[in-house]
Structure 1
Amino acid sequence: MNFSELPLHEQVLTGIERTGFEQCTDVQQRVLPVTLAGKDVMVQSKTGSGKTAIYAITILQSFITAQADNREVKALIIAPTRELAVQIKADIDELAGGVNNFRVGCFFGGVGYAKQDEWIEKGLDVYVATPGRILDYQKMKKVDFRQFDIFVVDEADRLFDMGFYPDIQKMFSLLRPVKERQTMLFSATLSTKVRHLAWQFMNEPKEIEVQPEEITVKEITQELYHISKDEKFRLLLQLLKQDEPASCLIFTNTKARCVEVSKRLSMNGYQSKYLMGDLPQRKRLEIIGWMKSGKLRFLVATDVAARGLQIDDLALVVNYDIPEDYESYVHRIGRTARAGKSGKSITLADEEYVFNLEAIEEFIQMKIPVIWPEDLPEVEDKSASYTFRDLVPRTGVRSSSARRGGTPSPSRGRKQAPRRAPERKQRRPRPAAPPKQHPPRRSAKAYADLSALPLEERLAYYKKEYLGNQQPADEPVKKTSSP
């Protein structure tokens, strides 16, 4: 279906044409006729399906229709993360290119209130917000939830996972009655919590569910490499040299590993930055801006960037660590091949995270093709002489006077007796470790056969290969957290 076939105002169609979209995605084709009629919906939508355009176009159409009747329409959109909120605002601004006097503001924590206060004073048509900041404004009586005609909850399952379920319930209770507003709820999965919220606070919502086989983006070329943890970074360098991607997003499971991989890449000539929750908000937005504009080719991130981060024409996604949550795999690789475009993802399976693989393959209903790392270009790892602690020093160590319960700092003018440095005990030198024995190289045929094995046999292979006699085969593997 073309957008021109929908009952849309000319100004809305102009904005859609400027973005370069002509054909509706499957979700847009099924949902837009319902939302444009003013009805409530709860939609299961996969990452990169074009769901943002659904509620953006619906809001724009309602805004123009109300203008003709000398009315105002105001909308509130709730997103789980600051990055997603910023992306939603950017998408709406782009689609609203043909609509006059349409004002959108973005509200999130981690930054000051001044600029956001200014937006409220000038007046807005759409508020895009994270739960904490918008509820702060409600408590300060600067935002009245009864003014909103349209309420959108994006990535509801993610919001609930982050503990915002009570906040969303509170927002619903602050809105006008269900028949006086339109509500749209989008979620990757329609869980019991999602449905309960819809039944309790929505007006007979139409449920539109994507079938399981539609979960994984079909246009993504997926590859899997089995590699030991010690050899993983070198393999990454070889793959980057072979593919030479125009842009690459690399995911790790821990913040410390994220910093390490980013620094090792930079030392090897791949200028990169890392993105994680500990960074100041301004720095995070600056890094995302560099990646979107093409100034930065390589970005290493934790799952904080897995949802809502939209980078046009992202060439490659690398799962440096296999995610522990099988749904995170879909959200990660969904950063590429957005809106029907093609893309590529590479997953590196080592002995620490290989057991997460089976749940992922069961969820996406396919076995990820196994590629044997042969005929790859030779590389020199210029960071090989640096240890993990050389690149990621321990943080959070404060002086004794700053520690809670520590000795208070001396008053001025009071002389302090010199402290004697503690004597260090002489340690016996450790015997030299024997040279590391590398296992013989496996044949390509072995890995080709591996991808065809059933679940039980593959698990048995992994346990024998990576655990040896460390653990009985019938006992669960205890994962050790990365530094």
Structure 2
Amino acid sequence: MTVLKALKKMFGKSEVEQLVPGPSAPAHSPSRAEVQKKPQRTTPVANTEKDAATAPVAPTPEQPRNEAPKPRRERAPKPPVVAWKLEDFVVEPQEGKTRFHDFKLAPELMHAIQDLGFPYCTPIQAQVLGFTLAGKDAIGRAQTGTGKTAAFLISIITQLLQTPPPKERYMGEPRALIIAPTRELVVQIAKDAADLTKYTGLNVMTFVGGMDFDKQLKHLEARHCDILVATPGRLLDFNQRGDVHLDMVEVMVLDEADRMLDMGFIPQVRQIIRQTPPKSERQTLLFSATFTEDVMNLAKQWTTDPSIVEIEALNVASENVEQHIYAVAGADKYKLLYNLVNDNGWERVMVFANRKDEVRRIEERLVRDGVNAAQLSGDVPQHKRIKTLEGFREGKIRVLVATDVAGRGIHIDGISHVINFTLPEVPDDYVHRIGRTGRAGAEGVSISFAGEDDSYQLPSIEALLGKKISCETPPTHLLRPVERKRP
């Protein structure tokens, strides 16, 4: 016994017990898994026989605990998921209207259409889907706000659901490609696509300039891309780096082709299209607000026997928009703008100017004079533009000042007034501007300031509208000097 005590003092009790097993040692050697499961000892080892005798003995397989095991707590059952059925989406037939039920659309897509509250097709949707769902190429002419975005998205989604994806496919190989001229329009199209695909399992991605390149690349590498919405320049960046391959594109859409012509994007678009399958092996849809000779020449190059859908310009400007023109000197335009917004308490106003420097000056003066305003132009970084749009959509920003390029493709309900601080140089832009209000059946008002530098644009605008717009002299109280809120 004295020898054992001496050994314990020299080596420690645990090591001695391994060499000279005591009567309470387990009869079997623990496995590696059991050793790994054992918690590390946190209390000191007994150094005396007395301590060892009084220390609690851990249970062994030969000494099971007498305590009854605690009953497992049952998880609350999840509420049952009620399967959606097409019968849940009831839309009565109406003469002269086309229902989405009249097309053979997947239940997952119809479910999303119901969520969006779209019982009947718009004219452009009814006509375009009649051709594109049959696999034909199409060229569509329609003004903004007519529903053309949903028309080509529904066609794309149907194609991708009906045709299984290839078995061998890389992450950067989209099946559908949508090219649009501006970042705002790309973001809006992608948002609409996400709403329509939420029950389908299809992935939507966006590539736009002005946003973190690496972040967009990580999204691309994380999952397969089914629908890619992009501006031409950023898409070429990814393509030329070898991150995106367009040889599996089944459907290609060119939105606002006339605007891409005006902005000089056609050479880039040509490079992109050369990377896609031949036009006989892909479906191509082209949309434009105008059918100029240049647009039609592009359509002939990129489409095969396309069906042409043209919504007549009888409703070139929405009948829900009340139009006014104030004849005002250039020096008085800002006073008129400020007093109109401030006196009437307007909460969601969009102001258009022709140049970026004008937009910046107007926004700076409004903020200085206590109006919650923000600007939207090509000089504003993309992440800030998206944040600005969300703030305007949520009502946190009262006045949004924008150029035509930045303002085109913005679909925000509830804009009560559109103000043309300067008349646009292109008549079509006037229609696009005032189309920001009076959406979804709501009433809207547009007010244009015609000064000595831009009033000559009025005749061409009236010719496009097919009617005269009477000029008014603004009331005197709307031309009073602005009281400075801040130094």
User: Which whole-Å CA distance do the structure 2 matches of 1:352 and 1:222 have between them?
Assistant: 20
Say which of 220, 240, 247 aligns to 1:146.
247
User: Which whole-Å CA distance do the structure 2 matches of 1:242 and 1:32 have between them?
Assistant: 46
Say which of 432, 435, 439 aligns to 1:338.
439
Matches within 5 A, 1:264-413: 264-374=365-475, 381-383=482-484
Q: Flag structure 2 segments of 5+ consecutive residues without an equivalent.
A: 1-97
Tell me what 1:116 maps to: 216
Q: Cα RMSD (Å) of the superposition? A: 2.3
The answer to whether the Cα contact below 8 Å between 1:14 and 1:97 also exists between their aligned partners in 2 is no
Say which of 253, 263, 266 aligns to 2:364.
263
Q: Which amino acid aligns with 1:284?
A: R
Q: Per-residue deviation at 1:97?
A: 2.6
Q: Per-residue deviation at 1:179?
A: 2.3
Q: Which amino acid aligns with 1:213?
A: L
Tell me what 1:179 maps to: 280
Q: Per-residue deviation at 1:339?
A: 4.2
Tell me what 1:107 maps to: 207
Cα pair distance change 1:14/1:376, threshold 3 Å: farther
Q: Which amino acid aligns with 1:275?
A: L
The answer to whether the Cα contact below 8 Å between 2:202 and 2:226 also exists between their aligned partners in 1 is yes
Cα pair distance change 1:378/1:129, threshold 3 Å: closer
Cα pair distance change 1:213/1:128, threshold 3 Å: same
Kindly indicate whether residue 101 of structure 2 is the aligned counterpart of residue 4 of structure 1. yes
Q: Per-residue deviation at 1:321?
A: 0.9
Q: Which amino acid aligns with 1:14?
A: H
What SS is found at the alignment partner of 1:116?
Answer: helix
Higher mean displacement: 181-190 or 113-122:
113-122
Tell me what 1:246 maps to: 347
Residue deviations 1:34-70, cap 9 Å, x none? 1111110011110111111011111111222224998
User: Which whole-Å CA distance do the structure 1 matches of 2:297 and 2:357 have between them?
Assistant: 38
Instruction: State, as a whole percentage, how many aligned pairs show the same letter.
Output: 37
Higher mean displacement: 330-339 or 50-59:
330-339
The answer to whether the Cα contact below 8 Å between 2:420 and 2:448 also exists between their aligned partners in 1 is yes
Q: Which amino acid aligns with 1:6?
A: F
Higher mean displacement: 85-94 or 267-276:
267-276
Say which of 96, 105, 124 aligns to 1:27.
124
What SS is found at the alignment partner of 1:98?
Answer: coil
Kindly indicate whether residue 139 of structure 2 is the aligned counterpart of residue 47 of structure 1. no
Higher Rg: 2
Higher mean displacement: 324-333 or 76-85:
324-333
Q: Per-residue deviation at 1:12?
A: 0.8
User: Which whole-Å CA distance do the structure 1 matches of 2:120 and 2:344 have between them?
Assistant: 31
What SS is found at the alignment partner of 1:146?
Answer: coil
Tell me what 2:293 maps to: 192
User: Which whole-Å CA distance do the structure 1 matches of 2:101 and 2:443 have between them?
Assistant: 25
Q: Per-residue deviation at 1:205?
A: 0.4
Higher mean displacement: 265-274 or 120-129:
265-274
User: Which whole-Å CA distance do the structure 2 matches of 1:338 and 1:68 have between them?
Assistant: 37
Higher mean displacement: 372-381 or 154-163:
372-381
Tell me what 1:414 maps to: none
User: Which whole-Å CA distance do the structure 2 matches of 1:160 and 1:383 have between them?
Assistant: 43
The TM-score, its normalising length taken from structure 2, stands at: 0.75
User: Which whole-Å CA distance do the structure 2 matches of 1:340 and 1:194 have between them?
Assistant: 31
Q: Per-residue deviation at 1:237?
A: 2.6
User: Which whole-Å CA distance do the structure 2 matches of 1:149 and 1:257 have between them?
Assistant: 43
Tell me what 1:37 maps to: 134
The answer to whether the Cα contact below 8 Å between 2:246 and 2:276 also exists between their aligned partners in 1 is yes
User: Which whole-Å CA distance do the structure 2 matches of 1:175 and 1:377 have between them?
Assistant: 56
User: Which whole-Å CA distance do the structure 2 matches of 1:69 and 1:112 have between them?
Assistant: 30
Q: Per-residue deviation at 1:209?
A: 1.6
Q: Per-residue deviation at 1:382?
A: 2.3
User: Which whole-Å CA distance do the structure 1 matches of 2:298 and 2:483 have between them?
Assistant: 53
Say which of 63, 80, 99 aligns to 2:160.
63
Tell me what 1:445 maps to: none
Cα pair distance change 1:17/1:69, threshold 3 Å: farther
The answer to whether the Cα contact below 8 Å between 1:267 and 1:382 also exists between their aligned partners in 2 is no
The answer to whether the Cα contact below 8 Å between 1:249 and 1:316 also exists between their aligned partners in 2 is yes
